[in-house]
Structure 1
Amino acid sequence: NPQVNVRVEKWKLAASGVKKLWSRRAIPTSTLLLFFTTLSSSPWIPTVESSETAELLSPVTKSRPSVTLPKFSTNSLLLLTTLLIFILKSCSRQLARSIADDVDLMTWLHHRIWPYESNMTEEDSYISTLLCGIELIHSGVTCFAEAGGQHVSGMAKAVELLGLRACLTQSIMDCGEGLPAPWAAVTTDDCIQSQKELYKKHHNTADGRIRIWFGIRQIMNATDRLLIETRDNALELETGIHMHVAEIAYENLKVINERKVDHGTVTYLEKIQFLGKNLLSAHTVWVNDNEISFLSRNGVKVSHCPASAMRMLGFAPIREMLDAGICVSIGTDGAPSNNRMSIVDEMYLASLINKGREVYANGTTNPSVLPAEVVLQMATINGAKSVLWDNEIGSLEVGKKADMVVINPSSWSMVPYHDSISCLVYSMRTENVISVMCNGQWIMKDKKIINVNEEDVILMAKQASRELLERAGIRIPNRMNFI
């Protein structure tokens, strides 16, 4: 069959290219990519059993793993890659999409987000997480780290149903200006006890897919006692801490004035010995060279959220962090500060924004900053390291969990794919993601979410978000006249 022969020859060419890239390590060893067609029986075709652990082997070994792929509607060349891991995701805020656009951070917090969050119910959190999870799966995500919500049990229920993997965190605050009344009454003891109870209830549930972390909203809403006891309890339970760090210049100035250090948040956290290998530092935009060395020396992980940063925060020194050996991953922040929950978009933005920052920082261009292979590492193995899960996920390796994504590059957005790694970062769109597997189970096949009805979730989300904004008293101003 000439048509089949053409496809097989295309596949052989792609496989040969991957083998050459692998042999000279142009593909990161932690991000093994495997090409296959649905019509070839070559030993190079990867297959994955529907079990927790991947049996995939490096193409260099020429070993034939035993794998079964779903029946896809396309017979074109497909691409199998390791999972994509989203860091810093606020799934409990999905119902707040577009309620806080084009405003500064303090207005965003005090007049939009805090009223929204303080009026949420556990059912709202459940629906919000379902809606968010659907979007994450469609963009190829199997694992995410929640930056903090008020109803962790609602989030956990949704994560278990969707089949995703997640590190969930409660948003903890024991001080601060302008807090909603219910939050202002919360004590440090309440904060610590609540997180311990959530850990006991949900940690390592859903077949091991859910982990509970400790959370600090930000330094402006945390007493020293809360910081220290959070650090100590997280170490005792061997879990992580998720905290927004050095988001805006105002935060650093407030820390300098009130906590008497010479720079800002990271300097103070170093002073009180809060920094550690189990800390995921979200955003981390306003840091100097000394603070970068503090982060590196203590093994802190950093979540880079390019779209969110460009809206309200500024340019994070990502190149300098990577050069210092810091593990930097990619995230979005929540829907109110990004709107798009797509790691595909964030990979594209991360590379371009940091190339542009070189002109701002050094007065010259440098197109080689954050090349495609580095961005891909940030979205895969660095994400796994950031959530302290890299011994089980983050790459396609023997013995690791079967979390993976099937991509169809044979569309107008990716053809021709002369450089497969480049195309994944610069050309891929969400619609190129065909199927997603988490923990050995397909959670999306042929673009169809398996475990929930998308239309039902959308209807629930519309109603829940409308009622929530009414309870919170949030009014979105009219921007212009329209029909």
Structure 2
Amino acid sequence: MATQSPHNGASETCDLLIVNGHVLTMDEKRTVYPDGAVAISGRKIVAVGPRRAIEAAWKAGRKIDAQGGVVHPGFIDGHYHAGLHLSRGSITDNPNPPKDEGGAGPGVFTRWINAVEDEDEYASALMASAELVRNGFTGFVDAATSFFPDLVAEAAGAVGIRCSVTDCMLWDHLGEGEPMAADIPRAPCSFDRSLKAMGGQLKRNTDEDALARGHVAIYGCGSASDELMRAAKTLADREGVVIHQHQSLMVSDAGYDAKRFGKPALVHFAEEGLIGENSVFTHMNILSPEEVEAVSASGMALVWHPGNFMYYAISQTGRSAFPGLHKRGTSIGLGTDIAKAWAFGDLGIIAYLVSREWGDYLPSESILEMFTLGGARALGLESQVGSIEAGKRADIVIRSNDLPDAQPNVNVVKQLMLVSRTKAVDTVMCNGEIVVRHGRLVKLDEAEIYRLARRSAERTAARAGIKPKSNWPLVT
């Protein structure tokens, strides 16, 4: 419901009114205001409701007319390797390439990671942040492979969006699960090193207004002992933050965990008290029925990458558990991982089609929940973002209807999730500040970001010994 003025009908003042919008609140009831308005003061939403009620109750020095366009909470990417964003194009899009293309899978990404320097990580995170916000995202979770998390936070802040950063590649177990754990000299596979580094970014959480926050993470995918997992879970519990890790991406690492534990990994983790409501696991492509039960019972959240599920042909091994887990009430966000064969926002349509492959049906409304509420849970800020409600932060996106992909728009959520997707972003507000207006960044020169990105990608590829290859002749 709209917030009403307590002053005998006299209007209250706010900083900004967004009016004439089709407002998808994503509140508990999923209330929609087809002719809606949002009142914002400072960093927070103070009222949302029908336009006539909000305009009668609130006056502002500034007003934005959404012109009938969709107004929704900012999307949040639940798992992204911001420092690897610029690897796309240099690393082949062939998952099984010949040797002259440098190899694929973990091996080629290991080479790229080892070649990244501080200025490259900054340029990569800056480009990722710019692309995210231009596509309607107001935050992301950095996925535990950044050597310089301070620079990732700085880059996101320069663009004006939220991020949660963590410590780099915490692992202590070498085996058949994650081969990369043996090949990153700057992040040796060591319990002592990991324990010492753990929680280094939680210092950010003392400022509740900060765009950059910290979370706990270990790398996962067979690279951690129970002791390391327990230390991370204990720290996250004590500090009241989420704990992330990769898990069960491929048949190989899921099989390795099952072999070393003598049972499926998630069953083991549940029995040992290593998962709970603050746990956020990414990938989870290979799950037994017993693991589905363990996940559901634990109250944990998941981040889904249906693109990788298809890209690495994991879909050939069996049915995705995510549609079923969603129906059971598990919180699910979407995480782009590395934008190597898709862009931010593409995972919604991929999730829809992955579900259809086995006859499941993922409604458009569920996809929007994953991008907003599920992303907020993965960020650990579900009490502050993910919906348009009084008291929450003003992380808001306004879309334009002025393009063919937004027509005929008789089903607004379906049109948004499956057709227009990341197109038509006109205005993005994060923490009460407008950071995209009329489809362009407000705080930075986009051309300069692109220049830095191209130079960094070329330098990193050269250091990694990766030469981008064209299948067609280049004539100069």
Decide: shared fold, TM above 0.5: yes
Give matches, 1:329-478, under 5 Å. Answer: 329-336=333-340, 338-340=341-343, 342-343=344-345, 345-358=346-359, 369-476=361-468
Q: What are the Cα deviations for residues 235-268 of structure 1, in whole angstroms up to 9, with x where unaligned?
A: 222211111111111112211223322x3x3233
Q: What are the Cα deviations for residues 385-409 of structure 1, in whole angstroms up to 9, with x where unaligned?
A: 2322111111111111111000012
Matched, 1:318 2:322: yes
Partner secondary structure for residue 40 of structure 2: coil
Partner secondary structure for residue 44 of structure 2: coil
**Structure 1 residues 266 and 181 mapped into 2: Cα distance closer, same or farther (>3 Å)?**
same
2:108 maps to amino acid: R
Which residue is 2:257 aligned to?
A: 255
Q: Which moved more, 1:411-420 or 1:187-196?
A: 187-196
Matched-pair contact (CA < 8 Å) for 1:245–1:282:
yes
Any gaps of 5 or more consecutive residues in structure 2?
A: 1-19
Matched-pair contact (CA < 8 Å) for 2:221–2:249:
no
2:118 maps to amino acid: E
Which residue is 1:125 aligned to?
A: 121
Displacement of 1:433: 0.6
Which residue is 2:50 aligned to?
A: 59
CA distance in 1 between counterparts of 2:462 and 2:331 reads 41
Q: Write 1 or 2 for the structure with the bigger share of helix.
A: 1
Matched-pair contact (CA < 8 Å) for 2:73–2:387:
yes
Partner secondary structure for residue 319 of structure 1: helix
Which residue is 1:233 aligned to?
A: 235
Displacement of 1:146: 1.6
1:215 maps to amino acid: A
**Structure 1 residues 417 and 459 mapped into 2: Cα distance closer, same or farther (>3 Å)?**
same
1:290 maps to amino acid: E
Q: What are the Cα deviations for residues 205-252 of structure 1, in whole angstroms up to 9, with x where unaligned?
A: 593222111222223222232212111122222211111111111112
CA distance in 2 between counterparts of 1:270 and 1:307 reads 27
1:173 maps to amino acid: W
Q: What are the Cα deviations for residues 30-82 of structure 1, in whole angstroms up to 9, with x where unaligned?
A: 654445xxxxxxxx55144351110222339944453759777x985322112
CA distance in 1 between counterparts of 2:421 and 2:371 reads 15
Matched, 1:113 2:109: yes
Matched-pair contact (CA < 8 Å) for 2:165–2:201:
no
Which residue is 2:295 aligned to?
A: 295
Q: Write 1 or 2 for the structure with the bigger share of strand.
A: 2
Q: In structure 1, which of residues 84, 98, 105 is the aligned counterpart of residue 75 of structure 2?
A: 84
Partner secondary structure for residue 45 of structure 2: coil
Aligned residue pairs, count = 439
Which residue is 1:162 aligned to?
A: 159
Partner secondary structure for residue 286 of structure 1: coil
The two structures have a TM-score, normalised by structure 2, of: 0.84
Any gaps of 5 or more consecutive residues in structure 1?
A: 1-13, 36-43, 359-365
2:254 maps to amino acid: N
Q: What are the Cα deviations for residues 395-433 of structure 1, in whole angstroms up to 9, with x where unaligned?
A: 111111111000012311111111112111122143311
**Structure 1 residues 253 and 186 mapped into 2: Cα distance closer, same or farther (>3 Å)?**
closer
**Structure 1 residues 183 and 110 mapped into 2: Cα distance closer, same or farther (>3 Å)?**
farther
**Structure 1 residues 242 and 184 mapped into 2: Cα distance closer, same or farther (>3 Å)?**
closer
The two structures have a TM-score, normalised by structure 1, of: 0.83
CA distance in 1 between counterparts of 2:124 and 2:261 reads 37
CA distance in 2 between counterparts of 1:370 and 1:103 reads 27
Which residue is 2:200 aligned to?
A: 197
Partner secondary structure for residue 87 of structure 1: strand
**Structure 1 residues 60 and 406 mapped into 2: Cα distance closer, same or farther (>3 Å)?**
closer
Which residue is 1:246 aligned to?
A: 248
Which residue is 1:5 aligned to?
A: none
**Identity %, equivalent residues:** 20
**Structure 1 residues 478 and 329 mapped into 2: Cα distance closer, same or farther (>3 Å)?**
same
